[in-house]
Amino acid sequence: MSLNSATAVAAALLVSFDAASAMVAAATKPMTYTRLGSSDLMVSDCCLGTMTWGKQNTAKEAADQLSAAWDMGVNFLDTAEGYPVPMTAETQGETDRCIAKWMKTAKQPRDSVILATKVCGRNDRFTWFRDGPTIVNRDQVIASVDASLSRLETDHIDLLQIHWPDRYVPLFGTTRYDVSKERDDEVSFAEQVEVMGELIKAGKIRHWGLSNETPFGVCEFARVCDALGVPRPVSVQNSYSLLQRSDETGLVEAMRRLDVGYLPYSPLSAGVLSGKYRGLQTPPAGSRMELFQGYMDRYLKSQAISHRPSLLFFFKSVGFLGSEFA
């Protein structure tokens, strides 16, 4: 969704103000739970993200965040084999270890935690995971799951997601499809589906899902699943916020027709919508804008830079913090 002016932003927000008021008010009520797509997972309406644990947050801070979230009724957390970010060989897997330590120390029953994780998609630079580029083929997916189970000290994963596709798609801030980047060696949809079915039968995962995926990808995975007799993906985890709404066009229709759940990440646009970067020419030391290559271009130099002051003014005028409204 493109916005042409600050006036258009305010007008669009006014239309949804009543709904936003209701959502913020609901935050003071007991947690509610929703079935995730076609799965049997009843997940809390808030899922706890974990990608800073082991880099920006210590294990103790991770435990404090987990305990606070579970006290408020959260039962769903999302990690990844590559966390924390930025992904490095030195820190890879620390987030999982923080989670395992909390579950053991807090004596948290395994069935009280819906545990989601992710296997890396194709990346030629991430050579430390499995002695070469990460690829979503059978051998690497199985190796990823076995390593995650070991770090998390559990015998199963509730939701395994493909972090980003094996095939070329525009990712992480890029929006235009570049045909010159298509590859002949992409792993087939069938091979990826078959290994998910194999892991489900082995009891290592209960369900599987997608992330940073397109309408074509969701529909093709569902079609191949039906052809091979493998359960369909139950969720898609994509970036979604007031400043990133492209999924409202084609992806919503695909998910509704295929009964696929939606897990939006970065609802605050990496903190931009909170207002904490307002007026800053350079990112604060230790912030994601400083640590993550490309974040400045992706979030602060996008349409956010022109609309953020108007958005924050509007939030204040109707009695909300930016984080509350977002």
Catalytic sites, residue numbers: 83
Instruction: List beta partners, residue 265.
Output: 239
Q: Which residues contact 299 (CB under 8 A, 6 or more apart)?
A: 243, 269, 270, 272, 289
d(CA 266, CA 148): 23
Q: Which residues contact 239 (CB under 8 A, 6 or more apart)?
A: 212, 264, 265, 266
Instruction: List beta partners, residue 114.
Output: 76
Q: What letters, b where the CB count within 10 A reaches 16 and e where it falls short, cover 252-275? A: eebbeebebbbbebbebbbbbbbb
Q: State the sign of the Cα–Cα–Cα–Cα dihedral 212, 215, 221, 222.
A: positive
d(CA 157, CA 176): 34
